Amino acid sequence: MPKYINDIIEGRLIEEYYDNAGGNDVIFVSDCECYENISPIKMYEEYGITSYIRGSSQQLIWQSYYLLEETLRYDTPKVVVFNVLSMKYNEPQNEAYKRMTLDGMRWSSSKWNSIKASMTDEEDMITYLFPLLRYHSRWSELTVEDFEYLFKTKKSFHQGYLMRVDVRPVTDYPTVVPLADYSFGDNAWYYLNKITALCKEKGIPLVLMKAPSVSPVWYDEWDSQIVEYARENDLFYINFLDLLDEVGINWDTDTYDNGLHLNLSGAEKLSVYFGKILQDRYGLADHRSEPETAEKWQGYIDFYNEMRDDQYRELEEYGYLKSYGGRKPE
Amino acid sequence: MKKLFSIILAVMVFALAACGGGSESTGSQSDGSKFAFKTGNITVKMNADAENVIANLGEPKSYFESESCAFKGLDKQYTYANFVVATYPKDDKDYISSVTLLDDTVATAEGIRIGSTVQEIDTAYGSNFTALTGESRSYVDGDAELQLIVTGGLVSSIAYYAKTDVN
């Protein structure tokens, strides 16, 4: 199976959690709208909030549900945050994306159920049980990297956050094309209800969020449905697209891919703004004065700062983030 | 122990490689569909190689690109005076993913435009469609879908979409 070491590192997001599981007061479950837009390290530095993002590329809502179910076996968070963009998908999508969520999960009933919910008719369960069967044709593409990391992996994330310090400003906005149907699908609603019910059963407040992004388009019609759902279920919903000025997002400096995701500058701004809301609203503890936690998190902060400095060094040296998935300047 | 495991793993990899098959599905090239957008003498087919199409359509009014999450390549959107063409990346090339008509100065090859009636749709495309919300309809042929959004008995939006496993 792909090792996701230097090329598509997002493929290792899910498995990296197990090294840092436990002791997280906030759990985010989401697609890239959390893992590229929120920095748990910054939230800790500012407020002493401990958090982890269980994110993966194009994470579908049933995968979010089963990931949350699994995470609650390792962590007892005070708050769960779910980003709502994935409500637009009602059916299994691209296989490569699905595998980036599923292959990294440890074996459990949650993984089994997530695979079942994610598979299309053409796919075989056995290839998810033994990914080698799916990727055996890749033997001729094996690289030094595959063997170097045969028994180990490379740490790349910061409590589930994918760091990017480069800047590619928003220069244009997508044309908003009308849809035939703005209603979220039954399957999406089914799993949102399950997430809500799971959090209620565990006594954990659930927060719905929509990250700030220029693309993909978040339709007003979609937003209205989430507003109504939050009202009916007594949930807190925060749409950061309505709060760009308050957060301080500047699309000239705070995105690395024309507004699809925030860069480090943008993610830190969002984390400072959102962290205060979470702490004020849910009385989250400041863990910075606890020696054991402080020592552990200091290690995370050191790694975060090292990577930040290394990314700036690469930008200086190559003009782009050569070993962090950056785009070469045209 | 690790050395032994490496040898076993290597044997397994090569044994599996020998059994063949297992090609990865990452999108499809067009086998053709009767649904395609025509403007002047240019035909825009779903899942077609976008390079020549975009070159022939000339300078767009606006252009937007977004990186794919995780994977290499860019989703691109070209907005012209009265329609929008979108593309998806695959194997270092771009392919047409959708065309959306923006006003009534353009029409489908079968003559349906924004403002056409349900009766005119029936005449042009028949009754073999999937009903969407309200009166809206989806017609599928081969690797293309034609969506007609109908509001108050009149077409309010028209879009062609590629049927593909790349999203």
Give A23→chain B minimum CA distance, Å. Answer: 29
**pLDDT digits over B27-67, tens only?**
444 456 789 999 999 999 999 999 999 999 999 999 998 87
- pLDDT value for B68: 72
∠ CA A198-A123-A114 to the nearest 5 degrees? 10
* Greater pLDDT, A115 or B2: A115
Q: State ipTM.
A: 0.71
Q: With an 8 Å Cβ cutoff, is A91 touching chain B?
A: no
Question: What is the C-alpha to C-alpha distance for residues B29 and B43, in angstroms, rounded to an integer?
Answer: 16
Q: With an 8 Å Cβ cutoff, is B157 touching chain A?
A: yes
- pLDDT value for A306: 98
Angstrom CA distances, A114 to A77, A120, B47, stand at 21, 12, 30
The verdict on residue B167 lying in a domain is no
Report the percentage of chain B scoring pLDDT > 90: 64
Question: What is the C-alpha to C-alpha distance for residues A231 and A55, in angstroms, rounded to an integer?
Answer: 26
Q: Which CATH superfamily is domain A9-318 in?
A: SGNH hydrolase (3.40.50.1110)
Mean confidence (pLDDT) of chain B: 82
Bridge partners, residue B94, by sequence:
B89
- What confidence tier does B24 reach under pLDDT thresholds 50, 70, 90? very low
Classified as helix, coil or strand, A297 is: helix
**For residue B90, which residues of chain A lie inside 8 Å, CB to CB?**
none
The verdict on residue B7 lying in a domain is no
The verdict on residue B81 lying in a domain is yes
Total number of domains in chain B: 1
- pLDDT value for B17: 39
- Choose the closest CB to B62 out of A133, A175, A258: A175
- pLDDT value for B10: 46
> Does A132 sit within 8 Å of B136, measured CB to CB?
no
Domain span including residue B47? 36-162
Is the predicted pLDDT of residue B160 greater than 50, yes or no? Answer: yes
The verdict on residue B26 lying in a domain is no
Contact B123, B106 (CB under 8 A): no
Q: What is the CATH number of the domain that holds B109?
A: 3.40.33.10
The verdict on residue B147 lying in a domain is yes
DSSP, res A327: P
- pLDDT value for A261: 95
The verdict on residue B103 lying in a domain is yes
Residues with Cβ within 8 Å of residue B96, at least 6 apart in sequence? B44, B45, B46, B47, B48, B50, B53, B85, B86, B87, B162
Residues with Cβ within 8 Å of residue A129, at least 6 apart in sequence? none
The verdict on residue B11 lying in a domain is no
- Choose the closest CB to B70 out of A93, A100, A133: A100
> Does B16 sit within 8 Å of A136, measured CB to CB?
yes
Test mutation, B66, B102, B145, B151, chain A, max A CBs within 10 A: B66
Question: What is the C-alpha to C-alpha distance for residues A117 and A127, in angstroms, rounded to an integer?
Answer: 15
Question: What are the start-end ranges of the H helices in chain B?
Answer: 2-18, 50-57, 118-125
- pLDDT value for B14: 41
Q: What is the pLDDT along chain A (330 residues), one digit of tens a residue?
A: 444 545 567 778 899 999 999 999 999 999 999 999 999 999 999 999 999 999 998 899 999 999 999 999 999 999 999 999 999 988 776 677 778 788 889 989 999 898 888 887 777 777 777 666 565 555 555 565 555 555 556 789 999 999 999 999 999 999 999 888 899 999 999 999 999 999 999 999 999 999 999 999 999 999 999 999 999 999 999 999 999 999 999 999 999 999 999 999 999 999 999 999 999 999 999 999 999 999 999 999 999 999 999 999 999 999 999 999 888 887
Query: What does B64-102 look like in DSSP terms, one character per residue?
Result: EEEEPSSSSSEEEEEE-SSEEEEEEEETTEEEEEEEEE-
**For residue A258, which residues of chain B lie inside 8 Å, CB to CB?**
64-67
Contact B102, B85 (CB under 8 A): no
Query: What does A233-267 look like in DSSP terms, one character per residue?
Result: TT-EEEEGGGGHHHHT--TTTSBSSTTSSB-HHHH
